[in-house]
Each structure stands twice: as structure tokens, then as C-alpha cells.
Structure 1
């Protein structure tokens, strides 16, 4: 069948080996997915130079792929759930049309160095590959790589460093013969790098090989100290280290970072950014930080914040809020969750809390903001709530559902927003005096999950009071469930 272009043998449950396709050199589409008795792919499949799509998904007994492949036209290959496939073929020649390689839940132990011939690869997915132990240095040949997914690879010990010695195999028909030892490859440029749940991954020196990345997820890994080279990664906005239970220290982070999740990092003792803020070395906080169950870290921060204060039990709130010029949100454990007594407005919480304040004529927009605080009980696994801020009855700020996990310890959620960042584009900023109304609302009610909440006006030192409280109250008794729901 010389002119055959498409062959669909999907769900042929008794097929044990793929046919010899050497007589069909024009084949473009081959579907052998969910052939649950298939154990071997005939070597002729590896020589199909016009093959565009190869689907082997769900071939649960498949063990053998062709040893060497010349798939110069291949765009997609699907090996998902081929749990008995332990090796990927050696690649002959450039495969410039393949942009994604998805090997989800396979038995792959390692990728060959010739994987570098996928020169236009954008997406590399190796999630749930329980046998994967290593990756080749040739991944630095991928100039267009955007996403690397290595979630739940419990045997992955290391990610290769850029300088590791490795040479791509050369073939007579290959023009692309550069390797890690023959020339210095460019750094990786990624949108996201995810290695969540890699319990043996402990070395993060490979981060020096990342030129820039928007998101890095190393949650659940075995790292102890994050490599200092992370500070050189450009454009990094989100860093997830949650569940890294051996992590002790986080060094300087790039100034572009917006979100840091270190929840359940029970051994964490120091975050350089927070230490610098408390020591007045810098004032810019990370926009969103989750320190849930980081009890050891918070003990150290409290001691640092109050080293010159004899008052026992002083909190972190004041030093974190002082000199801040941009919004931030932070969640952290406390010995006894409560709103600081110096907050100008606070009360016990029951489903819906509202307070109104009025600015005075001497109100200044610059360097003035609102601090919002919610104290959460440890008895429940998590609590959720939303926050609205209105100025002259125009909604200027909305914080969608906030989740606070408080299963082990009491926690406090603290949010700060400058007045200058509240105002909506297209609306004229009102002149004082004006009214500001804040609503905190918990629709999905969980008994005693939120203990109390509060609001405080943050002003530069020595400023005169420029706002006055009109009223603050729980309005739950005045609203039906339908009216509460409408607030969402």
C-alpha cells in the first residue's frame, strides 16, 4: 500500500505487534491508541519520514519502540499512559516540526541526548513518570522551549546544569551537530518550570541555566537551601515552594517576583526579603506571600521585629506596614490569632462585616492606604471570604475568594492597599471629603472559622488624623441569605 496516508487501528484489543509498514513510505497518520495487548512497535515505523501524527496513548503493555527513528515530518507523538515503555528512541536528524513532547505517566527512565534534535520544542511534559531519574544536558538546545513539566517524578534526583559535558550523537545526514561540550548553549527561556512532588530533587544549581522564567514550581521537593542564582532569573513572577519540608532558607529573589508560596515549609527559618524589610534595608514587599504553617520562620521574624522592644507578644504588623507604597497580601501563623489592638477598627466576625469611614478635608492620597486583617481559627481546614472596597459607592477594589488553610495553627491574613492603587481607570478621583466603605463577606458559612476582622488607616509618621469612623457593624442579622449572595 505505497500510497497509504492514514491507518487507524485504535482499540484493536488483540493486536500484539504493529504491522511492517516499510511498504507504506507515505504514511502520515498512525493511530494505535488503546491497543491494550500491543507490546512492540515494528522497526519500520521508525523510518517513516513523512509520518506526521503517531498516537500510542493507553497501550498499557507496550514495551518496545523502534531503537532509532528518523521522523523528520513528525508533529505529535502521544505516549501517555504507556507505563511499561522505559526508553525513548535515539533520534536521527532534526525534527523541526514537533513543538510538544508529552510523555505523561510513562515508564521512561531517561531521555537520550539526541532529544536535542527537537529544535523547535516548546512543551516538554514528563508528569507522573515514576522511573525518571535524570534528564540530558541537550535540553539546552531547545531555543523555543516554554514549559517543562516534571510533576510527581519521585526518582528524579537532578536537573542537568548547563555546563555538564555531553555530546549529541552525530549521523551522516545530520547538520545540527553541536553539543554541550562543543559549544556553550544559550540559557533556557521558559514561561514555566514545574517539578512539583519530586521528593528526591534537592539540588537547584540548574537555576543558573535559566535566562528567564515567568513561573517556577518546585513544591514538594527535597531542597534545603534555594540556590542564590535564582536572583538572576529575569521576569520571574511566581515561585511555588509549598510543601518543601526540608527547606531552611530562601535567598535574595529577583525584583520581578510577585507571588511566593512557602506554605507547609515547616523547617523554613529565613526569607531574605522579609528580613530586609524588618531591618529597614528595603520597603518593597512581595505582592502575595503564603506562609501558612511556617511557624519557625514566623517566630524568627517576631524576634527580629521586636529585638529592641521589651513588650512580650508584639506582632509583625506594624513593621510590615510601615513605609509600604504598594499593595501586598500575606498569610502567616500566630500563637493566638487576633487583630492587633492598635487597629482603629476591629470586631468579631459573623458572615458579613462592614465599616464606613469619612475622609476629612486634610486627607492626602499620597502614602496613605488601608490595612485589612482577618484572624482565622485553627479548628477548620480552610476558610474563604471576599473583600469589597467602595469609595462614594463606586467599587474601586475587589479581592476575590481568599482561601486560608488553618488546619494546624491559628493564622492571620493581612492585606494592604494604597488609596492611589484603588481608583479605577476612567473614573475621576474624588476630592476630600469622601466616604470609604469596606465589606468582608463569608457566604459559604463555616462555624467559627473567622474569629475577627479589622481595618486600619496607614499613614506616614507624624501625619494628623485625616479620617473618622462613621460606623462599623455586623450586618448579617439585617440580610437574608439571598441578599448576602447578591453581594457576590
Structure 2
């Protein structure tokens, strides 16, 4: 049997490490530990409750609850400006994220993988220097707050596997209010946005983002939207676009001008793809050109459309040592493809 420790004797205690204490079931009142900076409870698999007093400590820097799989009662508020690390990954019974009562400047990474969190509070905006937000496989997550748009330093957002997330929040400066220069830009620093295996039915939020000159990787695989919007052409730095197994996707209206990888495997309803010619023209003074396109298992893709794109690719795609991979539905090389070969290599002329 594990008994609560007597915290009154440790007023100057700064570091507590109870990691892997599988008999520990609760953390009692810690209000008598005003100097506590670090609490490590990772892999305490039978921990159920952490007393609310932890959230009132102002000097806390590190909190680690990694894989505390029975933790369900956690402080509803955190009041430490010094917080640098907050890890609750693998807390599969934790359904509520605490309100952040003060502005936190040191927390750069928020790791919430595989929790039961249903939504983030609007006070997440107080994590003003947050750079990385990880919510992968939070299968109960239904909403993200509009205040997420105020996080100007955020460069990575992973919400893949959040199967109940049906939409991204509306932008704070959506409508005519966008002319108000005092409003913050909407996620201006994001370079990697991963939303695979969610339930997105539309992508209107993309047109309101201000990361069009920073986003390089966008993963929208296994979602429910039917159209990739024309605003995609404005994402000038986007190089990798993943649309794998978007089974309801019917049309790709536009593509980023500097895309290098387009993965659309398994888009069984896809009928139309925007003309790729604008992004396939080689310009030695600018960024890389398209190198890999995967339309395998896209049986409804209009043949004439794809034919035009692939012909352009055969002429402009292979320059120097650049390799271009083309995946096209079917088991044979289409007759309209000008370069037939029984060998593993096809060489194309380079036009000056």
C-alpha cells in the first residue's frame, strides 16, 4: 500500500521524481511546496488524481505525465509563467486540458498525443511562444479554439488521427474585419500542417491562413472533403501535398506552383485534376519542379485530363539527374503515352 507523503516537511523542495511508481494512485495537496519546479510522474500507470493545488504553484517549469494511462483528474488551471515542458502524452483517460491563467513565454512544445481531450480551451492563446502543437490520435477531440490563430510562432500542427474533428476553426479575422491591421495574422509561421485521418468535410479555412509563404508540407489524407480549393495556388512554398485515400474527393481545382510531391493514391471519386503545366515548367532560378505524382487507384480520373498532364511531365520532368515517378491507374502503359519500353528505364530528350 502506498501512503501520501508529508509535503509540509519539504518547503524548499524543487525537484520530485516519482517516475515508474506503479503503486502511486494520487498526488495530494502540494500547496506547501511553493518552490517546486519539476514533477516527473511518467509511467505511473495507476495514478488517477493530481490535486488542484499543483495548478496554483507559480514556479513550476517541468511537468511530465507521460503514459499515465489512468489519470483522469488533473488541475483545471495552471498558473506558472515559468512553464517550459508539459507532457501528458498517453493519458488516455484525461478529457480536459487546463486553462492557462497567465501568459507563458517558455513553453515551445505541447505534447498531447493519445489523450481523451475533447477540446482545447481558448486560453491556449496564452502560450504565446508555442512552436509545436501535437494532438495526434486524440480520438475524442471535437473542436479547436479560434484563439489558436493568435499563436504567431506556431510552425507545426499535428492533429492527425483526430477522427471526430470535422472542421478547422473559423479565422478570427474572417470577413471585412481583416482590414483591421491591429488583428494578428492567422498562423503566419506554420510550415507543417498534418490533418490526416480526421473528418474534414470542407477546406474553407485554408483561404484565411497567412502561412501561404511558409507552409511546405500539408497532409489532408483520409478526409471527407470533395474539392481542393483554388486558394491552393497561393501556397507558394508548399512542396509536399498528401491527399491519399480521400475517397470523396472529386476535383482538384488548383495546385501550388512549386509542388514537388503530389500523393493522391486511392482517391476513388477523383474525376478532375487542375492542369499541371504551370507547375511542371522548369525554371533553373527557382525552387524544384514536380518529381513525384501518384494517382494510383483513382479509377474515375478523366483520361484526357491526366493524359495532358503526363505528356507535359514526360517532356519537362526529366532534366539532368532528376527522377520523376508517375503512378497512373491500370496495369498497362496507356497507348497515348508516347514513350513505350520493355526495359526499366525510359530516357527523354532535354530541350533547350
Match of 2:294 among 290, 293, 312: 290
- 1:474 corresponds in structure 2 to none
- 2:346 corresponds in structure 1 to 455
1:121 has 2:130 as partner: yes
Q: 1:87 to 1:164 in 2, by over 3 A?
A: farther
Determine the C-alpha separation between the residues in 1 that align with 2:138 and 2:131: 19
TM-score, normalising length: structure 1: 0.62
Determine the C-alpha separation between the residues in 1 that align with 2:78 and 2:296: 49
Query: How far apart are 1:291 and its partner, in Å?
Result: 1.3
Query: How far apart are 1:292 and its partner, in Å?
Result: 1.5
Determine the C-alpha separation between the residues in 1 that align with 2:51 and 2:172: 37
- Native 8 Å contact 1:216 1:240 kept in 2: yes
Q: 1:263 to 1:162 in 2, by over 3 A?
A: same
Match of 2:155 among 130, 146, 156: 146
Determine the C-alpha separation between the residues in 2 that align with 1:156 and 1:218: 13
Match of 1:66 among 66, 75, 87: 75
- 1:217 corresponds in structure 2 to 219
- 1:354 corresponds in structure 2 to none
The 5 A counterparts of 1:39-438 are 39-163=48-172, 184-188=183-187, 189-198=189-198, 200-208=199-207, 209-211=209-211, 212-274=214-276, 283=281, 286-301=290-305, 305=308, 318-322=311-315, 326=319, 328-334=324-330, 336-337=332-333, 343=339, 346-347=341-342
Q: 1:68 to 1:196 in 2, by over 3 A?
A: same
Q: 1:257 to 1:319 in 2, by over 3 A?
A: closer
Query: How far apart are 1:339 and its partner, in Å?
Result: 8.5
Query: How far apart are 1:18 and its partner, in Å?
Result: 0.5
Determine the C-alpha separation between the residues in 1 that align with 2:311 and 2:86: 56
- The one-character-per-residue Cα deviations of 1:57-76 (angstroms, maximum 9, x if unpaired) are 11111111111210211111
Query: How far apart are 1:251 and its partner, in Å?
Result: 1.8
TM-score, normalising length: structure 2: 0.84
Match of 1:27 among 36, 47, 50: 36
Determine the C-alpha separation between the residues in 2 that align with 1:221 and 1:332: 22
Q: Secondary structure at the match of 1:455?
A: coil
Query: How far apart are 1:21 and its partner, in Å?
Result: 1.0
Count of aligned pairs between the two proteins: 325
Determine the C-alpha separation between the residues in 2 that align with 1:36 and 1:325: 55
RMSD: 2.7
- Native 8 Å contact 2:229 2:254 kept in 1: no
Q: 1:63 to 1:204 in 2, by over 3 A?
A: same
Query: How far apart are 1:213 and its partner, in Å?
Result: 0.6
Q: 1:269 to 1:49 in 2, by over 3 A?
A: same
- The one-character-per-residue Cα deviations of 1:82-113 (angstroms, maximum 9, x if unpaired) are 11111111111101110000000000000000
Q: 1:206 to 1:457 in 2, by over 3 A?
A: closer
Q: Which runs of 5+ in 2 are unaligned?
A: 1-9, 175-179, 283-288
Q: 1:126 to 1:182 in 2, by over 3 A?
A: farther
Q: 1:260 to 1:42 in 2, by over 3 A?
A: same
Determine the C-alpha separation between the residues in 1 that align with 2:312 and 2:106: 54
Q: 1:458 to 1:164 in 2, by over 3 A?
A: same
Q: Whose strand fraction is larger, Structure 1's or Structure 2's?
A: 1
Q: Secondary structure at the match of 2:328?
A: strand
- Native 8 Å contact 2:280 2:290 kept in 1: no
- Native 8 Å contact 1:137 1:164 kept in 2: no
- Native 8 Å contact 2:280 2:313 kept in 1: no
Q: Which runs of 5+ in 1 are unaligned?
A: 166-180, 306-315, 348-451, 462-488
Q: Secondary structure at the match of 2:190?
A: strand
